[in-house]
């Protein structure tokens, strides 16, 4: 079983090793020694540790506020289209095809204060330019990154909702229309409740995904700037490991992230199982 | 799972209703909104393409314009050729291609065989293995990034084995061995290909698909004296073409787009895959902006072409798996 060997070597051993390292004062060259929970304690006292967790929670909240409903609305709208459906599907999905590195560099140029597309449009409309990624407003740069992530991700999520919409029995709409329900009432009382299981799953997947945001700030705000305003948990882990060479601490922080994600995944599994049981 | 291409008799709004004035208006507003929406999806692409045609001054000036100056003929089409030749882009395309083929080969062989074993062969402890495979899905890649890096840098066991097998002199003098003893798999494609081959998700996909193949078919072949590998190659693979296609496309796209792991593992610029090279190009203050944008555009062409060719499979793959591109 070649798969088994690869798994043991590149997945299971690293997982256990990560756990082990997190309890050690680890050094690449010299000997390592067991220090118990000292790494965890040290982290709790490190200011950037809290900063990165706080920011990550902010990313999640903004992500839900900005990005959660757009794919639902797009899917409901596109599903109603009598023509051009393939065109809509493809053009909304197109951003997802672009490599993340390319997207990040491209959006950095769109957000550019001097020569970016956004400030160009604002100037044409007679509005003052924005600072975007360099904004000093609380949460401003994070919001910029979230807008980009939404631009990139909404199309793919829309496809998932579209598939779910196709599964809604037409007789429900038929009956509601005969009963005189308006379009809006039908959306509220049929479409949304029918989409509910998928919506819950997408919600959890989105939270899990946002917790792991990394490449966007790595590239767009030069690893978490300005003034650590866009620092995330993963960026901080990366910094601990490959800039400070605090491998033990980095592994400890990875373990904490793992526990958060694991609990989310368990919730996810519990919910999907419940939906399956209900049929 | 519903079929995506099936045309339904009706949706939220019925055909008759469209003719009424209020719903008809609502529908038209919706069409306009969605069309405007597609513009926001498409405009950044145009911005990228046009940016690649500008002069360095035009692309960074405060008083920027949407289009480059002059007639379309005098635009900087040369930037694209420059981007193509200046950074030896073909070398990095080639590097990426090597990685794509390598990752694909190891992923597809190991995951499909493992999926088959779990679905159809009576392997002892198969449930335990399945759970252990699936458990790795819950561990995000970034969590094991550090220990994995250490594993790749300093592969446990294998080094000790090599020390037992060869005397110290051979280890120092044979280049492959001495490289391995000092750097492990760092700076080598194996350090990328092997960890990337581990994919519980693919095993799960294959297992699910193989389960739908009737066991009678396999049984019959076995009675006719077909070997186990023969059954796999002649019966299972031809029947599972769609799932092989989906896994192949997604694996190829993922390798093309991968950045952080190759960035950590590789040191030597000549070995970089395209995304890592792109990052260094972006970081380099000497890179002019127009050439950068042109290069970005060139690097996006292969996945976009792939998307248009395999559109149907990709969209089906996403709706089947909930996986994003």
Domains of chain B: 20-83 (no CATH), 87-283 (1.10.3720.10)
Nearest-Å Rg of the Cα atoms of chain B is 26
pLDDT at B204 over 50: yes
Query: In this complex, is the C-beta atom of A32 within 8 Å of any C-beta atom belonging to chain B?
Result: no
Query: In this complex, is the C-beta atom of A163 within 8 Å of any C-beta atom belonging to chain B?
Result: yes
Query: In this complex, is the C-beta atom of A121 within 8 Å of any C-beta atom belonging to chain B?
Result: no
Is B164 in a helix, a strand, or coil?
Answer: helix
Provide, rounded to the nearest whole percent, the portion of chain A with pLDDT above 70: 86
Closest CA to A95 of A174, A181, A157: A157
Per-residue pLDDT tens for A5-51?
665 656 666 666 666 666 665 655 555 666 667 778 788 888 888 88
**What local confidence, expressed as pLDDT, does residue B173 receive?**
67
Report the chain B residue with the minimal C-alpha distance to residue A1: B114
- Cα–Cα distance measured from residue B185 to residue B52, given in angstroms and rounded to the nearest whole number: 37
Taking CB atoms and an 8 Å cutoff, what residues of chain B touch A97?
253, 300, 303-304, 307, 325
> Distance (Å) from the C-alpha of residue B214 to the closest C-alpha of chain A?
23
pLDDT at A153 over 60: yes
Q: How far is CA B151 from CA A5, A40, B1, B139, B170, in A?
A: 14, 23, 41, 17, 23
**What local confidence, expressed as pLDDT, does residue B98 receive?**
93
- Specify the pTM: 0.83
pLDDT at B133 over 80: no
Query: In this complex, is the C-beta atom of B321 within 8 Å of any C-beta atom belonging to chain A?
Result: no
Which residues of chain A from 53 to 112 reach within 8 Å of chain B, CB to CB? 74, 76-82, 87-102, 105-107, 109-110
**What local confidence, expressed as pLDDT, does residue A29 receive?**
52
Contact state of A162 with B319 under an 8 Å Cβ cutoff: yes
Taking CB atoms and an 8 Å cutoff, what residues of chain B touch A12?
132, 136
Q: Which of A1, A92, A109 sits opposite B117 (nearest CB)?
A: A1
pLDDT at A217 over 80: yes
Q: Which of A79, A91, A109 sits opposite B42 (nearest CB)?
A: A91
Q: Which of A109, A173, A250 sits opposite B51 (nearest CB)?
A: A109
Q: Which of B14, B61, B318 sits opposite A115 (nearest CB)?
A: B61
**What local confidence, expressed as pLDDT, does residue B1 receive?**
39
Contact state of B146 with A101 under an 8 Å Cβ cutoff: no
Minimum mean pLDDT range among B14-18, B63-67, B108-112, B192-196: B63-67
Per-residue pLDDT tens for B278-302?
898 888 888 888 888 888 998 899 9
**What local confidence, expressed as pLDDT, does residue A62 receive?**
92
Q: Residue A177 has which token pair?
A: 């229309």
Which residues of chain B from 279 to 318 reach within 8 Å of chain A, CB to CB? 279, 282, 289, 292-293, 296, 299-300, 303-304, 307, 311, 315, 318
Which residues of chain A from 231 to 270 reach within 8 Å of chain B, CB to CB? 234, 237-238, 241-242, 247, 250-251, 254-255, 257-258, 261-262, 265
Closest CA to B130 of A16, A7, A276: A7
Split at pLDDT 50, 70, 90, the class of B63 is low
Q: Which of B62, B147, B282 sits opposite A17 (nearest CB)?
A: B147
Fold exhibited by the domain A38-278: MetI-like fold (1.10.3720)
DSSP chain A: -HHHHHHIIIIIHHHHHHHHHTTEE--SSS--EE-TTHHHHHHHH-HHHHHHHHHHHHHHHHIIIIISHHHHHHHHHHHH-SS-HHHHHHHHHHHHHS-HHHHHHHHHHHS-TTT-HHHHHHHHTTPPPP-GGG--STTHHHHHHHHHHHHHHHHHHHHHHHHHHHTS-HHHHHHHHHTT--HHHHIIIIIHHHHHHHHHHHHHHHHHHHHT--HHHHHHTTTT-STTTT--HHHHHHHHHHTS--HHHHHHHHHHHHHHHHHHHHHHHHHHHHHHHH-
Query: In this complex, is the C-beta atom of B71 within 8 Å of any C-beta atom belonging to chain A?
Result: no
**What local confidence, expressed as pLDDT, does residue B104 receive?**
92
Contact state of B311 with A90 under an 8 Å Cβ cutoff: yes
State the best of A3, A175, A180, A223 to mutate against chain B, taking most chain B CBs within 10 Å. Answer: A3
Mean pLDDT over each residue of chain A, to the nearest integer: 83
Mean pLDDT over each residue of chain B, to the nearest integer: 80
**What local confidence, expressed as pLDDT, does residue A71 receive?**
93
Contact state of A1 with B114 under an 8 Å Cβ cutoff: yes
**CA atoms in the 13 A half-sphere facing the CB of B315:** 22
Per-residue pLDDT tens for A75-119?
999 988 888 888 898 889 889 888 999 999 999 888 888 778 888
Report the chain B residue with the minimal C-alpha distance to residue A118: B44
* B92-98 average pLDDT score: 92
Which residues of chain A from 1 to 20 reach within 8 Å of chain B, CB to CB? 1-4, 6-7, 9-15, 17-18
Which residues of chain A from 192 to 221 reach within 8 Å of chain B, CB to CB? 201, 205, 212, 214-215, 218-219
> Distance (Å) from the C-alpha of residue B320 to the closest C-alpha of chain A?
9
Provide, rounded to the nearest whole percent, the portion of chain B with pLDDT above 90: 6
Query: In this complex, is the C-beta atom of A191 within 8 Å of any C-beta atom belonging to chain B?
Result: yes
Split at pLDDT 50, 70, 90, the class of B324 is very low
Q: Could you tell me if B68 and B76 are in contact, meaning their C-beta atoms sit under 8 angstroms apart? A: yes
Which residues of chain B from 216 to 245 reach within 8 Å of chain A, CB to CB? none
Contact state of A92 with B26 under an 8 Å Cβ cutoff: no
Contact state of A7 with B315 under an 8 Å Cβ cutoff: no
Contact state of A99 with B31 under an 8 Å Cβ cutoff: no
Minimum mean pLDDT range among A70-74, A193-197, A260-264, B158-162: B158-162
Which residues make Cβ contacts (< 8 Å) with residue A13, sequence separation at least 6? B147, B151, B156
Split at pLDDT 50, 70, 90, the class of B101 is very high
Query: In this complex, is the C-beta atom of A173 within 8 Å of any C-beta atom belonging to chain B?
Result: yes
């Amino acid at each position: 079983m070649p798969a088994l060997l690869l798994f043991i070597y590149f997945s299971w051993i690293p997982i256990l090793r990560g756990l082990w390292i997190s309890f050690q004062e680890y050094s690449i060259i010299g000997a390592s020694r067991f220090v118990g929970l000292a790494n965890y304690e040290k982290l709790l006292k490190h200011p950037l540790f809290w900063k990165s967790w706080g920011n990550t929670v902010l990313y999640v909240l903004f992500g839900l506020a900005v990005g959660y409903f757009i794919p639902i609305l797009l899917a409901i709208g596109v599903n109603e289209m009598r023509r051009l459906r393939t065109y809509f599907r493809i053009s909304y999905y197109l951003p997802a095809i672009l490599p993340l590195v390319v997207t990040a560099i491209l959006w950095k140029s769109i957000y550019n204060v001097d020569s970016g597309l956004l400030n160009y449009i604002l100037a044409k409309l007679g509005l003052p330019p924005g600072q975007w990624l360099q904004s000093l407003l609380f949460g401003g740069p994070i919001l910029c990154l979230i807008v980009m992530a939404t631009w990139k991700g909404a199309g793919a999520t829309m496809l998932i909702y579209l598939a779910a919409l196709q599964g809604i029995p037409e007789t429900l709409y038929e009956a509601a229309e005969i009963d005189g329900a308006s379009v809006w009432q039908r959306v509220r009382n049929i479409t949304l409740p029918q989409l509910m299981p998928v919506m819950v799953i997408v919600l959890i997947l989105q939270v899990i995904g946002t917790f792991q945001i990394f490449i966007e700030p790595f590239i767009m705000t030069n690893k978490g700037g300005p003034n650590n305003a866009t620092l995330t948990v993963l960026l901080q882990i990366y910094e601990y490991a490959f800039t400070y060479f605090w491998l033990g601490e980095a592994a400890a922080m990875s373990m904490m992230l793992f526990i958060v994600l694991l609990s989310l995944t368990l919730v996810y599994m519990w919910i999907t199982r419940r939906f399956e049981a209900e049929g | 799972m519903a079929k995506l291409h099936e045309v339904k008799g009706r949706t939220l709004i019925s055909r008759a209703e469209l003719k009424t004035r209020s719903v008809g208006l609502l529908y038209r507003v919706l069409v306009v909104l969605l069309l405007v929406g597609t513009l926001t999806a498409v405009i950044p692409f145009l911005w990228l393409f046009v940016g690649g045609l500008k002069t360095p001054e035009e692309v960074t000036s405060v008083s920027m314009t949407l289009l480059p100056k002059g007639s379309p003929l005098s635009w900087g089409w040369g930037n694209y050729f420059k981007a193509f030749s200046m950074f030896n882009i073909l070398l990095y395309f080639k590097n990426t291609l090597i990685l794509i083929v390598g990752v694909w080969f190891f992923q597809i062989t190991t995951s499909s065989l493992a999926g088959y074993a779990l679905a159809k062969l009576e392997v002892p402890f198969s449930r335990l293995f399945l759970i252990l495979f699936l458990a790795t899905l819950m561990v995000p890649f970034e969590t094991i990034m550090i220990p994995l890096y250490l594993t790749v840098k300093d592969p446990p066991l294998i080094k000790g084995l090599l020390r037992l097998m060869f005397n110290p002199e051979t280890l120092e003098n044979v280049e492959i061995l001495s490289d391995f003893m000092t750097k492990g798999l760092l700076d080598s494609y194996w350090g990328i290909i092997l960890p990337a081959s581990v994919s519980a998700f693919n095993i799960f996909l294959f297992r699910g698909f193989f389960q739908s193949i009737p066991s009678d078919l396999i049984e019959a072949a076995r009675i006719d004296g077909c070997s186990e590998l023969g059954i796999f190659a002649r019966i299972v693979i031809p029947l599972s073409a769609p799932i092989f296609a989906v896994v192949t496309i997604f694996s190829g796209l993922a390798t093309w787009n991968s950045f952080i792991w190759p960035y950590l593992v590789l040191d030597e610029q000549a070995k970089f895959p395209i995304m890592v090279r792109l990052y260094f190009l972006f970081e380099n203050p000497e890179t002019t902006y127009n050439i950068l944008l042109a290069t970005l555009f060139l690097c996006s062409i292969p996945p976009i072409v792939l998307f248009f060719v395999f559109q149907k499979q990709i969209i089906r793959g996403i709706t089947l798996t909930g996986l994003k591109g």
